Structure 1
């Protein structure tokens, strides 16, 4: 039985769903969310900040000692240099400046993400080095866009929506001259990498390397800080390795490692055989043991 006519008929009926599925996939992607977030900041800067006082520079890719760093927005004025990091997120947001990771909660789903203040710290330090300016002349600003709500008290430079513009305009003391502000704009333009495919690709690869490194190092189950590989010194577990919180002794969170390579090797010398040992060895190596 030839079913091709049926298939052709079904294709003609449902073909319009294909572009809809593609569009939905794009809309839900982190890339699209980031683009929307940056667009909202660009738009609000245009209407909420005087362009004669604040010069907006977008998507700045700067070289660093270990690769590159990308800054969403930089606003330059006589009132200082404002480094803006945008987060397009929804749900409840929990965090404080001292935590390495903040928490996003959507109903019963919980997700941890890097403290954006710490993330923006590298951007600020890169610009300080490039521009040769002091800490009182540069400001870190975090902007959340999207359907999110702060559930813990945030510092004044962590804002929602147009609140970032109010924070920027609250800085009324002149810390730069007109000449210095113009010179800073020229320095940023001359120091940033060319926005080419190669430069963007190198930045993406650099970010992937950082993410991969973080994925192999677990976070403390109690406080969310980075964990450190430690070794028991005494007792029945002497010599056994485990993950311990980097904030010890303030935090005593621990996380067990299945087995070290040495223990696994001794264990697998029995009936399990060498092929299984290699699999577990690769798994343990992935966790940096």
Structure 2
């Protein structure tokens, strides 16, 4: 019986380390926090899958609609130190001496905002407030001007915006349109995941072939103030830099 219990604990630990499971836990934690907002003022939509401007789909963790604007929230459930800048394509996750890369979540969330703008062109006065919220498992060491916060500060960050830009009628119309365009059938959602997996595979395949995944230029060895590194030959037009392994991004 003890061995069975021990085996179950090991399996549970492995499951909890899976990226999809960790992401799900982070999203649910954010959802619980957002539920504490005044529901008469703030209307939350979770796990939206909507068409983007490129004819594909984009998945958005949370959208909060209020008369103060449209809050577009990307949640991250990472451990270790998270370092990066506003304009760097990839950030770095450091756990002891091991480093991995993650696609800049600000860039990721910018894609979400653009998809919403394309979906809601009639609301020209809408203010979009992108927020990237990390759970407390991470230590943020980023240099940014955008809202990159800990999940515990999410509602405080939302409530600090107090300038109305939308009418109540606008808010109702936006919620209705987002709900109607939320793609919920399983086949579409599976296809979305498959597309992301293929894009990630193609990106890594290009890197293995010394091809820049951003512009298809050649990856070459270059020298900088911190020593030699691998970057794109099309610099400064393309600022892609290869550092360690590339983590998957949604």
Partner of 1:213: 202
Partner of 1:178: 168
Partner of 1:52: 40
Partner of 2:245: none
1:152 aligned counterpart, secondary structure: strand
CA shift for structure 1 position 21? 2.8
Instruction: Check whether the contact 2:63–2:71 (CA below 8 A) recurs between aligned residues.
Output: yes
CA shift for structure 1 position 152? 3.2
Give the structure with the larger helix fraction.
1
Moved more, 210-219 or 159-168: 210-219
> Do residues 126 (structure 1) and 115 (structure 2) align?
yes
Give the structure with the larger strand fraction.
2
1:162 aligned counterpart, secondary structure: helix
**1:141-152, aligned counterparts within 5 Å?**
141-152=131-142
Instruction: Check whether the contact 2:48–2:61 (CA below 8 A) recurs between aligned residues.
Output: yes
Q: Of residues 191, 203, 207 in structure 2, which corresponds to 1:202?
A: 191
Gaps of 5+ in 1: 1-11, 233-241, 255-289
Instruction: Check whether the contact 2:51–2:57 (CA below 8 A) recurs between aligned residues.
Output: yes
> Do residues 87 (structure 1) and 93 (structure 2) align?
no
CA distance, structure 1, for counterparts of residue 125 and residue 103 of structure 2:
23
Q: Of residues 139, 143, 149 in structure 1, which corresponds to 2:129?
A: 139
Q: 1:152 to 1:24 in 2, by over 3 A?
A: closer
TM-score w.r.t. the length of structure 1 is 0.71
TM-score w.r.t. the length of structure 2 is 0.81
CA shift for structure 1 position 218? 3.1
Gaps of 5+ in 2: 221-229, 243-250
Question: How many matched pairs?
Answer: 229
Q: 1:59 to 1:250 in 2, by over 3 A?
A: closer
Larger Rg: 1
Instruction: Check whether the contact 2:79–2:138 (CA below 8 A) recurs between aligned residues.
Output: yes
Q: 1:211 to 1:66 in 2, by over 3 A?
A: farther
